[in-house]
Amino acid sequence: MYSLAELLRQYAKSRPESLCIAFDGEFISFAELDKRSDRLVSVLLGQGLVAGDRVAILATNKPAFFELLFACAKSGLIMLPINWRLSAREIGAIIVDASPRCILSDQDLVAKLPPSAELVDCPLVVLGDSYNQWRDADSHSTIDSLPIDPDTTILLLYTSGTTGLPKGAMISDRNLSFHQRHGSEMWGFSDSSVNLVAMPLFHVGGIGYGLNAMLAGGATVILQQADPRELCRAIVEHKVTHSFFVPAVIQMLVDLPAIEAQDMSSLEFIGYGASPISETLLKRALEIFQCNFAHAYGLTESCGTVLTLLPEFHDPEATNKERLRSCGRPVPWAEVALFDLESMLPVAQGEVGEICVRSGMTVKGYWNKPEATAEAITADGWLRTGDAAYCDDEGFFYIHDRYKDMIVSGGENIYPTEVENILYEHPDVAETAVIGVPHPRWGETPKAIVVCKPGQTIEAAALLDFTRARLARYKCPTSVEVVEQMPRNASGKILKRELRAMIWPEK
């Protein structure tokens, strides 16, 4: 396996003028990406940053993400992508926890950052012309040092937790380098591939997946967001061979008027994740796109895919249609097992247990959170996902439930406790519980069940506005139900399973 820096150096020498990144009319070769990341290292180190310092980026998708990632792979600096969809309050909490030494931001997102007084010794660089001039101040800078230790943290991705507090997953160069193997061995990437990346680059499903073609010497087309018309245009214009979407985006694509008239013949592969694909949608997508489909199961802490349902198991006419609900089988470099939640002993084949993963892709732990790290990763290296599943006699895994009550809405992970903490700030809320309910486009969205304080009433619209002022929009409940009391067990814990059964009987 090669480090990220080594691979970029190799391609900059062996195929210097080959297209590496296409974005909004800009075309960047491998040689140019190598130079840009060198210059970025030079300017950052020149400002006094040292290995281990964090460089934050608050932006929509753009090449600067990969310029910064490769700069960190060359220097040991740590890239800190921040979800621009978060509220200013949530962004501020991440800034406080990670203490970046430099922030790169889109102009229209600067207002979400904490006041300048709270950003001591942390210069802000606005992306665009200002960033380009700052990066290229010494246009002749090159970095001759050898690649860093592969276990050095170079990426810090924040993921919400069951406590409602964000946790920074520490991702190493070694973790990310597995995307070279995954892309070539599992999903058919090569130096002739053209990969369309529209998933947000602050997610592992964006920046991790976005490395697949790059690390194989192929081209990567970046879109700012997954707008279906723009996706369709990009596929046709750039002759895209590979892409990855959440099922909700696939649904939007197949619903485009006259989609069948578009020339999609370049497509070879579409990956999807976050939820299984319905048989109806899969059949329609296969008819339109005429390419292979594969399901991916992974999480931030696994640095990407650990289970995949390969194309040969995506035949909607097959006798075993149940397999379409499967997450698939483990990738060759990952051990995946099911353990009893309490004893951490293996469960019998066919029984439900917690999905646990042991792999070179597993992150080092959580930034500044040794206790949370110990809870998530056992002493012998098993990553506890919190997802309950069973495995059939052919080694296919099926998600059964979510131990952590996580809601997956349009590919975004939403943790109920985080939303509940905000709802409890409302002066008229006595008790609350948040669950996922069906949604025709996003799969599921949060629903707030609340008990009012004595003598008080709550208007649903006002409560929804209250959450929207404090949370990213996608985390906010889409509906509210006021109840007299919550169902509880003998110890007083709210029984969310009963709440789901009342509202979503099939769950």
Is pLDDT at 120 greater than 70 in this prediction? yes
* Inside any domain, residue 289: no
Cα dist from 14 to 154, 285, 360, whole Å: 25, 37, 28
Name 258's Cβ contacts closer than 8 Å, sequence gap at least 6: none
* Inside any domain, residue 497: yes
Could you give the CA distance from residue 67 to residue 53 in angstroms, rounded to a whole number? 17
Q: Convert the pLDDT of each residue in 195-244 to its tens digit.
A: 999 999 999 999 999 999 999 999 999 999 889 999 999 999 999 999 99
Looking at residue 145, its pLDDT comes to: 60
First-to-last CA distance in the chain?
Answer: 43
Is pLDDT at 164 greater than 80 in this prediction? no
Is pLDDT at 443 greater than 90 in this prediction? no
Is pLDDT at 506 greater than 70 in this prediction? no
* Inside any domain, residue 40: no
pLDDT (mean) for 353-361: 95
* Inside any domain, residue 53: no
* Inside any domain, residue 270: no
* Inside any domain, residue 337: no
Number of domains in the chain: 1
pLDDT band, very low/low/confident/very high, at 404 (cuts 50, 70, 90): low
pLDDT band, very low/low/confident/very high, at 489 (cuts 50, 70, 90): low
* Inside any domain, residue 146: no
Looking at residue 394, its pLDDT comes to: 93
Looking at residue 124, its pLDDT comes to: 94
Give residue 435's domain range. Answer: 407-503
Q: Convert the pLDDT of each residue in 277-322 to its tens digit.
A: 777 888 899 999 999 999 999 999 999 999 999 999 998 787 677 7
Q: Convert the pLDDT of each residue in 248-269 to its tens digit.
A: 889 889 999 989 999 999 999 9
SS3 at position 204: helix
185, 285 contact by CB (below 8 A): no
Is pLDDT at 497 greater than 70 in this prediction? yes
In the DSSP assignment, the letter for residue 359 is E
Q: Identify any residues that bridge with 156 across adjacent strands, giving them in sequence order.
A: 170
* Inside any domain, residue 431: yes
Dig out the tokens for 385 from the structure: 């996902």
Is pLDDT at 491 greater than 70 in this prediction? no
Assign residue 473 the CATH number of its domain: 3.30.300.30
For residue 128, give the amino acid letter: G
